[in-house]
């Protein structure tokens, strides 16, 4: 979203979460350096970036748990601390381990519901929603991390809020849990909620997020639809399959292409159109079985975008450029 549409959404006071120009220091560390983005209703927004990029700090600021030197974070047009019944506006899961180990999952939720003046009936509804019914009366201290994540999501849904914020919800989930989580997040967005999900792994938000806010060093690097980002990174790239990887790479690099081996018999090529690649390979008698437009994965998008933002990035030995 462009800064102007971000401002429009903030000014409208409407649904969603709008973060504008957050700046925050921890001692010498600039944790947030002008962080600005919006989380819109009806979409799952992936909030992705390397460790230390400022994701958790941003979420804490949105929830009024951390103060900032500059900037605003609004939920439905208001700061969190100005909300009269916050659980009815935003549900969050920041730390799935934050529960009383001796209490049952159900009692944990009853305690939260009571503190917020919510009906006990809602507790059994959210337990069922997250698939914890059979474990609800067991001690939460004995729950697996995946079950704790489900309990945390149940807590986030207690007030039936239009905005949901989850910090690393895939952590500790087994493959079945991850599939469940993806479907569940999608269903929350399909019901019109604004859903913000942080992760340091792009693969986790694949098939889940509609929109991505990619962050590095306390600010937004990219803020766009998933389809748009994949198309931008795919543009101009060609995938080549050949049994003569080294020979092909050398021929194409000499002709000005940027080439990278991405598998035993696969090379990613950019900087030359497909027909020119075919001509060059034929002229040098390099055997190949396929030359096709490359479709980037979300992982490619992420690497491309965060290339500058990660402090220490290992060199890729197979990368050869002109
Ligand atoms: N309480 C704190 N005291 C000092 N520094 C902090 C504190 N919390 C965060 N930081 C620093 O602020 C920066 C942003 O951290 P933050 O936890 O928000 O990043 P993150 O993107 O959530 O990372 P991760 O994926 O590792 O959780 C980091 O450099 C971190 O070390």
ipTM: 0.95
Using left for φ > 0, alpha for ψ between -120 and 50, and beta otherwise, residue 13 falls in: left
**Which residue(s) pair with 190 in the sheet?**
none
* 226 vs 206: CA distance, rounded Å: 9
Q: What separation, in Å, do the N-terminal and C-terminal C-alpha atoms of the chain show?
A: 35
* Residue of 157, 170, 18 lying closest to 87 (CA atoms): 157
Cβ–ligand 1 contact at 49 (below 6 Å): yes
Q: Is 52 in the pocket of ligand 1 (CB under 6 A)?
A: yes
**Residue 50 in contact with ligand 1 by CB distance below 6 A:** no
Q: Give pLDDT tens digits along the chain (322 positions).
A: 444 455 554 444 457 999 999 999 999 999 999 999 999 999 999 999 888 899 999 999 999 999 999 999 999 999 999 998 898 999 999 876 677 777 888 998 999 898 888 888 999 999 999 998 888 888 888 888 888 889 999 999 999 999 999 999 888 788 888 898 999 999 999 999 999 999 887 878 878 999 999 998 999 998 999 888 888 777 788 999 999 999 999 999 999 999 999 889 999 998 898 999 999 999 999 999 999 988 778 888 888 777 655 443 333 434 433 3
Among candidates 115, 137, 138, which has minimal Cα distance to 124? 137
Ligand 1: residue of 26, 27, 309 to mutate (most ligand atoms within 8 A of CB) is: 26
Domains defined for the chain, CATH in brackets: 3-225 (3.40.50.300), 232-320 (3.30.70)
- Closest residue CA from atom 24 of ligand 1: 51
Q: Per-residue DSSP letters for 107-167?
A: HHHHHHHHHTT--HHHHHHHHHHTT-GGGTTSBGGG--HHHHHHHHHHHHHTT--SEEEEE
């Amino acid at each position: 979203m462009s800064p102007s549409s971000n401002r429009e959404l903030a000014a409208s006071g409407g649904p969603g979460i709008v973060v504008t120009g957050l700046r925050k220091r921890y001692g010498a560390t600039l944790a947030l350096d002008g962080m600005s983005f919006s989380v819109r209703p009806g979409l799952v927004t992936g909030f992705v970036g390397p460790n230390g990029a400022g994701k958790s700090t941003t979420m804490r600021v949105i929830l009024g748990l951390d103060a900032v030197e500059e900037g605003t974070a609004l939920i439905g047009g208001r700061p969190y601390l100005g909300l009269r019944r916050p659980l009815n506006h935003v549900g969050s899961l920041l730390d799935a381990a934050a529960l009383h180990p001796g209490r049952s999952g159900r009692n944990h939720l009853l305690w939260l519901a009571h503190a917020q003046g919510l009906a006990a009936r809602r507790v059994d509804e959210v337990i069922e929603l997250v698939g914890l019914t059979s474990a609800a009366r067991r001690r939460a201290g004995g729950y697996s991390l995946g079950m704790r994540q489900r309990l945390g999501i149940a807590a986030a849904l207690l007030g039936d809020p239009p905005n949901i914020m989850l910090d690393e919800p895939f952590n500790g989930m087994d493959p079945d849990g991850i599939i469940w989580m993806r479907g569940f997040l999608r269903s929350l967005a399909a019901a019109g909620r604004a859903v913000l999900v942080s992760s340091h792994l792009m693969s986790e938000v694949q098939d889940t997020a509609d929109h991505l806010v990619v962050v590095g060093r306390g600010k937004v690097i990219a803020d766009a639809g998933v389809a748009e980002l994949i198309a931008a990174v795919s543009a101009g790239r060609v995938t080549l399959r050949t049994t003569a990887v080294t020979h092909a790479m050398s021929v194409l690099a000499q002709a000005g292409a940027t080439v990278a081996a991405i598998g035993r018999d696969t090379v990613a090529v950019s900087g030359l159109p497909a027909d020119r690649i075919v001509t060059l390979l034929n002229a040098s008698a390099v055997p190949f079985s396929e030359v096709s437009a490359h479709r980037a994965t979300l992982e490619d998008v992420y690497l491309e975008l965060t290339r500058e933002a990660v402090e220490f990035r290992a060199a890729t030995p197979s990368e050869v450029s002109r």
